[in-house]
Amino acid sequence: MKVKTLGQFIIEKQTDFPYAKGELSRLLRDIGIAAKIVNRAVNKAGLVEILGETGEVNVQGEQVKKLDVFANEQFIAALKAGGECCAIASEENEDIIPIDSEVSKNAKYVVAIDPLDGSSNIDVNVSVGTIFSIYRRISLAGPGTIEDFFQRGTEQVAAGYVIYGSSAMLVYTTGKGVNGFTLDPSIGEFCLSHPNMKTPKSGAVYSINEGNYLHFPEGVKKYIKYCQEEDKPSARPYSSRYIGSGVADIHRNLIVGGIYIYPTTTKSPKGKLRLLYECNPLAFIIEQAGGKATDGTNRILEINVTELHQRTPLFIGAQSMVDKAMEFMEATS
């Protein structure tokens, strides 16, 4: 079998962007490099001093894990060194990180990133991930500004995630379908393993943290009951699968067909997940794979962005399942 590496694939696809000069390709390459370094750390996690908490609390009020910090540093370093990115927005940093360096002075892109998704799973050897979203800058020159990030998800130039699982995979889209690459540790390269990924129109898996059940909106409670009812033609009851790493849950559902929901709760009245570096990139990928992503009413990619760490509820996955969940939401609103 002929192996195609991520680098080779990106060069081949550059012809999709006749006016591009390879900057986006280099940006994706830089993200791939950081992903490999993070993967190496994740693989050795029990052996090296990288498990546990730093003792700090991040802008979201969450305990910061050492691997959160490590991953954040690696992606920032790779993006700074690569020269194609003029500002970074990260889950781990309250403000944007403008990049003001000689190599980045002509950079056209900004990157929003969740360097480590699923932090609660780091210490227990369960899959974690990275999520990234790339926009063309709006500001004209110099380091990027916060306004560069206040663009709707529909304006994303590319988005992707890395899953550090039983194997490491990088999945990305530039708006022309979704492709997945598995890391071959023997050559240290991401190799095309899942070309043109499509998600089933319907599925039989639902993923939601049911521990929050009492705090869910009525529509979500009713939809969960619907998932649990017996009905042969629609393959119900569905299976419940929830890892707690959004990337891993959504990746599995992409492949087998399913719905992932993180609704509003009384604790998190705006939802928990962040629009910029979690929901928008995942929505872009799932839409490109033929699925759907909404906040229960509106398309995720059309939500106005007014805050860096803006939160939104998320209903994402197979089209018919998201539509059904939205019917329940509408009926109870």
Joined together, the tokens standing for residue 214 give 């009492």
Give 180-237 as a DSSP string. Answer: EEEEETTTTEEEEEE-S----SS-SEEE--GGGGGGS-HHHHHHHHHHHS-BGGGTBS
Please state, in angstroms and as integers, the Cα–Cα distance from residue 295 to each residue in 133, 298, 311, following that order: 18, 6, 10
- Contacted entry of ligand AHG, Mn ion, none for residue 148, CB cut-off 5 to 8 Å set by kind: none
Can you tell me the distance from the alpha carbon of 330 to that of 333, in angstroms, rounded to the nearest whole number? Answer: 5
Q: Is 165 in the site for ligand AHG (CB under 6 A)?
A: no
Angle formed at CA 80 by CA 79 and CA 84, multiple of 5 degrees: 65
Nearest CA to 158 out of 4, 295, 25, 327 is that of: 25
Residue nearest to ligand AHG (CB): 246
Q: Where are the alpha helices (DSSP H) in the chain?
A: 6-13, 23-43, 66-82, 218-228, 246-256, 280-288, 319-332
Q: Which residue in the set 246, 257, 258, 263 belongs to the binding site for ligand AHG (CB under 6 A)?
A: 246
Residue in this structure with the two tokens 């849950």, named with its chain if needed: 249
| Under rule CB under 5 A, residue 91 binds Mn ion | yes
Nearer to ligand AHG among residue 83 and residue 217 (C-beta): 217
Rg (CA), the chain: 19
Identity of the residue, 24 or 69, whose beta carbon is nearer to Mn ion in the bound complex: 69
295 binds Mn ion (CB under 5 A): no
Closest distance to ligand AHG from the beta carbon of 20 (Å): 30
Q: Using the rule CB under 5 A, which residue among 30, 84, 117, 287 binds Mn ion?
A: 117
Nearer to ligand AHG, 137 or 292 (CB): 292
Site string for ligand AHG, 208-227 (x = CB under 6 A): -x------------------
Residue among 257 and 271 whose Cβ is closer to ligand AHG: 271
Binding mask 35-74 for ligand AHG (x = CB under 6 A): ---------------------------x------------
Q: Least CB distance from residue 300 to ligand AHG, whole Å? A: 15
Report what 30 binds from ligand AHG, Mn ion, none; CB cut-off 5-8 Å by kind. none
Question: Which residue, among 33, 290, 294, has the nearest Cα to 173 in the 3D structure?
Answer: 290
- State yes or no: residue 287 binds Mn ion (CB under 5 A): no
Cβ contact 95:145 at 8 Å: no
Binding site for ligand AHG (CB under 6 A): 62, 91, 114, 117-120, 209, 244-246, 249, 272
Q: Which residues bind Mn ion (CB under 5 A)?
A: 91, 114, 116-117
